[in-house]
Structure 1
Amino acid sequence: MAKIVLAGRADCALYAKAELLADTLHRSLPNFTVHRISILPDEWKEWLEATCKRNGWKHEESPLVWRDLVDQGGKGMLVGGYSDFLEHCQDYYNITSDMPTDVMLSVAAENLETKMNLVDEEQHRLSLIKPLHVWISSALSPACHFLIPNVISAELFPHVSAISLHLLDLDRNEEELQQLRMETEDLALHLLHQVTVHTDLEQAFQEADVILLLDEGWSDGTKSEDEEEKKKKTVKAISDRYREYGQLIDTRANKEVKVIVSGDSFAHLRCSLLLDNARRIDRHQFVTTATQLENEARAVVAKKLKVKTSDVANVLVWGNINGSFYVDLQRAKVFNYDGAIKGPAFYSQPVDKILYERKWLETDFQDMVRCRRAAVASKTCRAAAMSLANGIVTVLKAWNGICGPDEVFSMAVLCTGYYDLPDGIVLSVPITFVDGKWSVLFDVTVGEELKERLHLSASELRQEKELGS
């Protein structure tokens, strides 16, 4: 079976003539099939160059004709332009064309009109779709590969009909981003409307409904023996970028945008800078996720109690998640614990009633949690990307109303007098979600020792911010 592909400018008279010749062949030869590709005049040159480059052809005019050999295990075989196609039909099938010039021009005009109508219909169809716009920065980080399949899911966004994913990476090349875009499209996820890639801030955060900021690896590429000087340059680079991020979010993002800051370095500072520069957006729309750290603490407790990590709940993380944090078990509970008292699957017991080793809880336990992520990274030679992505997804689920009313989460948010803390500092505190809105949990005991820890964290973060200014 012969399959011919005809491609040409919609207004090209020779393309119209090639179509008529192909139709004649199809009527005469039942096994002869034709596939037409009509291209708008202003898009033809770019399309032709890309097609020829992909197939290793040389051709400079409309139309472009080739035989499709995919069914035979090979790529297309170039026939050429109209004259080449006419010669091919005469030699192989003894069929020629005698289309008059006026008919040829009339068909070309009809082709262009039909193509324009199809373009208008497609644009109208797309205008009726109102996708959720999700932006991910540092999109080439390992965590993003775990994030993407979860973000474009009905489970995470149950009331959304389409999602437009925007991949931003200012430190990598566009070719890598294009590969990630193609891989994302190959997932064939039902909610995915489109994927765009960006290597600059020209369109960054346009119409954003959700922004996930994964920026890490801050370095200017220079070697420095002075760690203090190196830190100052790092904080300066972060401050410059996140001030700009905040201003762009303020002017371009939707007013109800959800912004999640994540990462192993300066997460609180980054969130604070966004809040300072995105004044139009409500402060409750910016959070720094501490869920990854919270889950790591749950894993340490679970190993101690010989249960699954998922059997431990309501662990609290206070303070600076990239510095002097404190893991608090005052509300933690454990399910399926094999102790003296047992109950059904829904029965839980307070962890602090089971773990009596107070010295271990205040020393070794805190150190084990602090070192756990570094231990994973040293063994795998990469960051703990999967747990980071899972922490972000957990927060998004809760923020979208997919959580129980009794679930407690640890998140770094802007503190406005909470627990006698100084205003304007982003610290990790316990929160709950109700109807897609978070609020700080006050039904906890905050003793003098914990207050001292929190003030130490606040002091650390103030110094970071002063360093950047």
Structure 2
Amino acid sequence: MGIRYVIAGESQCDLFAETCLVADYLAQKLPSFCYDRIEKPVTEWMPWLQKINQKNKWHHTRSPIVWKELLMAGSKPFYIGSASEFLEYCYSYYKFDVYFSPLRFEHLTDNFLQFQKKIKQETIALDRLDNTILVENSTENKVTICISGAGNPLALFIISGLLDVKQNIYKIYIYDEECSQTSMEFIEHECNYVGTEYLGKLVKYVDKIGVALTSSDLLIILDYVPFQSTYSIGQWLYKNKKLMENIAIKINATATPKLYVVLPNLGPACYNATIIANLVTKINKNNVVVVTSDIGLEMAPVAAEIAEVPLRNMFCPPVWGFVGINHLADIRTTIHRYDAFHPYERYVKVKNSSLCIGYLTPEMRTMEYLMFFDETLWKKVGDRKRKDTERRLNFHKAVALLNLVRIWLFDPNPNYIVSLGIQCNGSFGLTFSGVFSQPACLLNGEWRPASHYMMPRDPQVKISYLQEIAKIVMTLKKTDLQQVVAYTPCTLECCDAAVGHVGCAMDRRGSGTARGGGGDTIGSRASDFAR
């Protein structure tokens, strides 16, 4: 069992400094020698010494005091004495003999204090160096995220969700070419106010996206051109194409080769992602994905209500298609967890038994048998989407994007299946050379089609049709599919009212020029028009 020596004394005591010097020398020469040093200010020394005397029933009166104890918690201290007793103890136990000259050690106290101060400074410097190394190592394990189009209201909810996993995030850069600097600085201030417990600015506004892309691991693109009634389909796609080409140029110029690019379901999302994937040369085009599971999240509560299935036991419906142009959310291949009951034989034979009557086995089933005869799903989903449109914001898009970021960057698991717009590789019979929404899984850091998943079973929409539409859309020109002019068909009541107004007007004209016969002729023409 090891022994530890404890040396306590006043900070201005020469004998205390001499005793510590001897103990330090012995600790350097003898590997088994261990000591602790307790230094008390002059004003605190006597009260502290009185407490030690009362606790251990000692009668020590001056500085320093030395005792020994075993190297274990709660061990009993054994009194040695003052400096002279400690030196005698060292001589008898370690055969250590030393002579202290008064002149030589006249300023030992000051020197010893300076020595201890220097040791403390060196310890602080080493701690700072260790902390710097730890910060650098922790920074290497953290990710940097850049959000383009941060003026979109959806960006605030995305940033708020990212701050929940701030221990894994080094920096969030926000950028928007269309918004003013004042607006972006306001967003920066508000977001940093949420995370006030962190040192430095976690969210930072940049006026040039190239500065952020040089160190970013993930780029979230919220830029898109919304459709307007004055646009033709070709013109709308053309404007989005030009916007994506500009972003692709910036990616090729400044981004790192390992950059991930994510687009939420805004505008012609799969079309925009296809444009970027075809133009980028510096990054892997398989790292350009579109979050499409928000479409399934929209309909999941309605489907759970109709099928009377707890929403917590239901998985997100798979989403197929060229999202932003067309899509299919297949409720029939949606999986839910079902607890199947298997009764024992005595359940049938014995009535009112107090014993266990059976057991439950969890199973994974599709919802096809629950939704086969229902025709109200899409009407209810449409009504809910109409209400969401009135609220102007769709939180499903932010939730779906944050789930993807968590799975992709922070909690990768190849068993997860997520609906994503990704590059087709022939799985599910999809040969489209672009981004197409389908069930996907994460393999070696890249999203690939989950080829083992079921094909859609919707009786009305086939994915081959969705694929053909995607191919056609990619070939559209600016002047194709001209503006759709709203047309309201005329009803019979409208025709009768219009004929009445025309007849009255013509009668008035006839009465002013030729009465009698002229009026009859006009009236007959009005009747002919009515017929």
TM-score norm. by structure 2 comes to 0.55
In structure 1, how many angstroms separate the alpha carbons of the residues matched to 2:427 and 2:338?
34
- Deviation of 1:186 after TM superposition, in Å, equals 1.0
In structure 2, how many angstroms separate the alpha carbons of the residues matched to 1:211 and 1:347?
40
Give the one of 312, 319, 325 matched to 2:314.
312
Give the one of 128, 144, 147 matched to 1:133.
144
In structure 2, how many angstroms separate the alpha carbons of the residues matched to 1:132 and 1:333?
33
In structure 2, how many angstroms separate the alpha carbons of the residues matched to 1:150 and 1:189?
16
In structure 2, how many angstroms separate the alpha carbons of the residues matched to 1:414 and 1:365?
30
Contact kept, 8 Å, 1:415 with 1:423, in 2: the verdict is yes
Contact kept, 8 Å, 2:313 with 2:337, in 1: the verdict is yes
> Aligned residue pairs: how many?
331
Give the one of 196, 218, 221 matched to 2:226.
218
Counterpart of 2:367 in 1: which secondary structure?
helix
Q: Give deviations 1:101-132, integer Å, cap 9, x for gaps.
A: xxxxxxxxxxxxxxxxxxxx9xx999955563
In structure 1, how many angstroms separate the alpha carbons of the residues matched to 2:296 and 2:457?
22
Judging changes above 3 Å, is the alpha-carbon distance between structure 1 residues 401 and 176 closer, same or farther for their aligned structure 2 residues? Answer: closer
- Deviation of 1:197 after TM superposition, in Å, equals 1.9
Judging changes above 3 Å, is the alpha-carbon distance between structure 1 residues 338 and 201 closer, same or farther for their aligned structure 2 residues? Answer: same
**Partner amino acid, structure 1, of 2:416:** E
2:183 matched to which residue of 1?
Answer: 176
Judging changes above 3 Å, is the alpha-carbon distance between structure 1 residues 371 and 416 closer, same or farther for their aligned structure 2 residues? Answer: farther
**Partner amino acid, structure 2, of 1:214:** L
Q: Give deviations 1:181-214, integer Å, cap 9, x for gaps.
A: 0111112254875433245555463322111112
Contact kept, 8 Å, 1:401 with 1:435, in 2: the verdict is no
2:216 matched to which residue of 1?
Answer: 208
Give the one of 278, 281, 284 matched to 1:282.
284
Give the one of 166, 171, 176 matched to 1:164.
171
In structure 1, how many angstroms separate the alpha carbons of the residues matched to 2:462 and 2:432?
16
Residues 271-350 of structure 1 mapped to structure 2, 5 A cutoff = 271-329=273-331, 331-335=333-337, 347-350=362-365
In structure 2, how many angstroms separate the alpha carbons of the residues matched to 1:314 and 1:346?
22
1:407 matched to which residue of 2?
Answer: 416
Query: Which stretch shows the higher mean deviation, 244-253 or 270-279?
Result: 244-253
**Partner amino acid, structure 2, of 1:398:** I
1:459 aligns with 2:474: no
1:375 matched to which residue of 2?
Answer: 387
In structure 2, how many angstroms separate the alpha carbons of the residues matched to 1:298 and 1:344?
29
- Deviation of 1:315 after TM superposition, in Å, equals 2.1
In structure 2, how many angstroms separate the alpha carbons of the residues matched to 1:369 and 1:375?
10
1:47 matched to which residue of 2?
Answer: none
- Deviation of 1:149 after TM superposition, in Å, equals 2.2
Judging changes above 3 Å, is the alpha-carbon distance between structure 1 residues 316 and 224 closer, same or farther for their aligned structure 2 residues? Answer: closer
1:33 matched to which residue of 2?
Answer: none
Consecutive unaligned residues in structure 2, runs of 5 or more: 1-128, 344-356, 479-531
Query: Which stretch shows the higher mean deviation, 203-212 or 406-415?
Result: 203-212
**Partner amino acid, structure 2, of 1:165:** I
Residues 193-272 of structure 1 mapped to structure 2, 5 A cutoff = 193-199=201-207, 201=209, 203=211, 205-218=213-226, 225=230, 227-228=231-232, 231-272=233-274
- Deviation of 1:289 after TM superposition, in Å, equals 0.5
- Deviation of 1:268 after TM superposition, in Å, equals 0.5
Identity, % of aligned positions:
15
1:185 aligns with 2:187: no
In structure 1, how many angstroms separate the alpha carbons of the residues matched to 2:337 and 2:197?
35
Q: Which stretches of structure 1, 4 residues or longer, exceed 6 Å deviation after superposition?
A: 124-127, 336-346, 447-452
Judging changes above 3 Å, is the alpha-carbon distance between structure 1 residues 193 and 252 closer, same or farther for their aligned structure 2 residues? Answer: same
In structure 1, how many angstroms separate the alpha carbons of the residues matched to 2:421 and 2:463?
12
1:352 aligns with 2:354: no
Contact kept, 8 Å, 1:319 with 1:453, in 2: the verdict is no
Contact kept, 8 Å, 1:290 with 1:412, in 2: the verdict is yes
In structure 1, how many angstroms separate the alpha carbons of the residues matched to 2:222 and 2:170?
19
In structure 1, how many angstroms separate the alpha carbons of the residues matched to 2:458 and 2:156?
41
1:392 matched to which residue of 2?
Answer: 401
